[in-house]
């Protein structure tokens, strides 16, 4: 039993009796008051509040800028500022490791850290009216929807009461390099969605994507989100100016869009994407497709570039339907059917 002065302590390393029970009790007491950040020595423990809190505004960021950690309440911004200041003052590379179970809030906290670095270390260039793209902060933050679409798959594990969504994120790491100055962040390296199996067999360089997921899914699993987003029925604005909303209904536009990619309108037709789950409970692929496209716009991608990416994804879907036949009196095989052309 710890003395009363340690009730709701901000740093659990200060506890007289440091054990699992006292740690859980302290975290629980702080969480009841929506104090979701608690230090544990060098670490910052975060508990997902499952609701939006007004503690991530630009004014809060400026409140933490240049402050020592013990001068302010525990916050991810304090940890971020400490890493940034150490990089600037000591001229040494810094890394932040964000880890936790599925649904713990790794992705959201990563966005907050990136926003902090973008505001603190980057010059806020005003957006020019009529030009494509957003501020540096917006562009960096908007990498997340794209990374999620092209680098994240789903494994659904049934539990006692519900279905547990596990995207197999082992950790997310942000690295700041000593070449960065106080005025600009030249290189923010975001290692997102690194899977635990990456480190099997003493592999030293993480492979960010599990390649087999593209062509094979076990029961209860899904392939990468982008395939389902493309087929979701979202109005893709038909990049490249093929059609306009005034000419076609939304349904017609999507049909023409899929036709331009030479895709069938039924997802189950494509073996690479339909071996198991087609939808995720609580996730609207149509809405997610809109978020992905908005991210491309803010990041400054040209319409033609984005359409080429969609065409690449469509090509992978078509490859799953290829059939092969053996050439007469030869060991070589050749495509059989239109899919090979």
Statement: residue 184 has pLDDT above 50: no
Residue 104 token pair: 């713990």
Average pLDDT over residues 227-256: 59
- pLDDT in the model for residue 252: 57
Give whichever of 34-48, 110-124, 293-307 has the largest mean pLDDT.
34-48
Residue 163 token pair: 């279905």
Statement: residue 310 has pLDDT above 50: yes
Statement: residue 328 has pLDDT above 50: yes
CB atoms under 10 Å from CB of 298, counted, come to 19
pLDDT band, very low/low/confident/very high, at 325 (cuts 50, 70, 90): confident
- In three-state secondary structure terms, 4 is helix
pLDDT band, very low/low/confident/very high, at 33 (cuts 50, 70, 90): very high
Statement: residue 27 has pLDDT above 90: yes
| Across 10-14, 84-88, 127-131, least confident range | 127-131
pLDDT tens-digit readout, 37-83: 999 998 999 999 988 888 988 889 889 998 988 899 999 999 999 99
More confident residue, 137 or 120: 120
Average pLDDT over residues 218-239: 75
Mean confidence (pLDDT) of the chain: 73
- pLDDT in the model for residue 189: 35
Q: Is 41 known as a binding-site position?
A: no
- Read off the DSSP letter of residue 212: G
Name the strand (E) or helix (H) holding 188: strand 188-194
- pLDDT in the model for residue 261: 81
Task: Say which residue the tokens 């709701």 belong to.
Answer: 8
High-pLDDT (> 90) share of the chain, %: 14
Of the candidates 228, 150, 152, the residue with the CA atom closest to the CA atom of residue 195? 152
Statement: residue 193 has pLDDT above 50: no
- DSSP codes of every residue in 17-47: S-SHHHHHHHHHHHHHTT--EEEETTEEEE-
Average pLDDT over residues 31-37: 95
Of the candidates 115, 112, 110, the residue with the CA atom closest to the CA atom of residue 134? 115
Q: Is 105 known as a binding-site position?
A: yes
| Pairwise CA distance, residues 52 & 111, whole Å | 14
Domain parsing of the chain, residue ranges = 225-326
Q: Is 100 known as a binding-site position?
A: yes
High-pLDDT (> 70) share of the chain, %: 68
pLDDT tens-digit readout, 273-302: 888 878 877 778 888 888 888 888 888 888
- pLDDT in the model for residue 73: 95
Which are the contacts of 321, defined by CB distance < 8 A and separation ≥ 6?
A: 269, 270, 271, 339
Statement: residue 203 has pLDDT above 50: no
pLDDT tens-digit readout, 138-178: 777 777 788 778 876 554 433 222 233 444 443 455 555 44
The sign of the CA dihedral 304, 284, 99, 6 is positive
Q: Is 106 known as a binding-site position?
A: yes
Radius of gyration of the chain (CA): 24
Q: Is 130 known as a binding-site position?
A: no
Q: Indicate the burial class of 99 (C-beta count within 10 angstroms; 0-12, 13-18, 19 or more).
A: exposed
Q: Is 277 known as a binding-site position?
A: no
- pLDDT in the model for residue 186: 35
More confident residue, 122 or 287: 287
Statement: residue 194 has pLDDT above 50: no
| Pairwise CA distance, residues 21 & 36, whole Å | 18
- pLDDT in the model for residue 233: 74
- pLDDT in the model for residue 236: 55
For residue 44, the cross-strand partners are 39
| Across 145-149, 198-202, 325-329, least confident range | 198-202
| Pairwise CA distance, residues 17 & 1, whole Å | 7
């Amino acid at each position: 039993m710890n003395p009363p002065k340690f009730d709701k302590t901000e740093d659990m390393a200060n506890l007289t009796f440091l054990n699992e029970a006292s740690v859980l009790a302290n975290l629980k007491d702080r969480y009841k008051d929506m104090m979701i950040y608690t230090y544990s020595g060098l670490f910052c423990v975060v508990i997902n509040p499952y609701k939006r809190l007004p503690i991530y505004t630009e004014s809060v960021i400026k409140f933490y800028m240049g402050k020592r950690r013990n001068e302010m309440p525990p916050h991810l911004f304090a940890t971020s500022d400490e890493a940034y200041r150490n990089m600037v003052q000591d001229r040494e590379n810094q890394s932040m490791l964000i880890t936790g179970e599925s649904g713990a809030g790794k992705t959201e906290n990563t966005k907050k850290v990136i926003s902090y670095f973008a505001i603190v270390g980057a010059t806020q260039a005003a957006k020019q009216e009529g030009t494509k793209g957003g501020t540096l902060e917006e562009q960096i933050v908007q990498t997340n929807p794209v990374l999620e679409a092209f680098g994240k798959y789903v494994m659904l594990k049934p539990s006692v009461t519900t279905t547990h969504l596990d995207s197999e994120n082992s950790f997310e790491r942000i690295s700041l390099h000593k070449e960065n100055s106080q005025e600009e962040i030249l290189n923010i390296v975001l290692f997102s969605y690194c899977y635990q199996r990456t480190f099997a067999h003493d592999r030293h360089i993480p492979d960010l994507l599990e390649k087999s997921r593209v062509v094979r899914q076990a029961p209860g699993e899904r392939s990468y989100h982008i395939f389902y987003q493309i087929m979701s029925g979202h109005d893709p604005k038909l990049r490249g100016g093929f059609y306009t909303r005034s000419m076609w209904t939304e349904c017609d536009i999507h049909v023409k869009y899929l036709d331009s990619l030479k895709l069938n309108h039924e997802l189950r037709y494509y073996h690479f994407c339909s071996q198991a789950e087609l939808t995720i409970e609580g996730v609207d692929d149509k809405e997610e497709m809109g978020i992905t496209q908005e991210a491309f716009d803010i990041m400054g991608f040209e319409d033609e570039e984005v359409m080429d990416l969609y065409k690449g994804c469509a090509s992978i879907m078509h490859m799953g339907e290829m059939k092969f036949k053996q050439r007469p009196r030869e060991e070589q095989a050749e495509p059989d059917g239109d899919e090979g052309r």
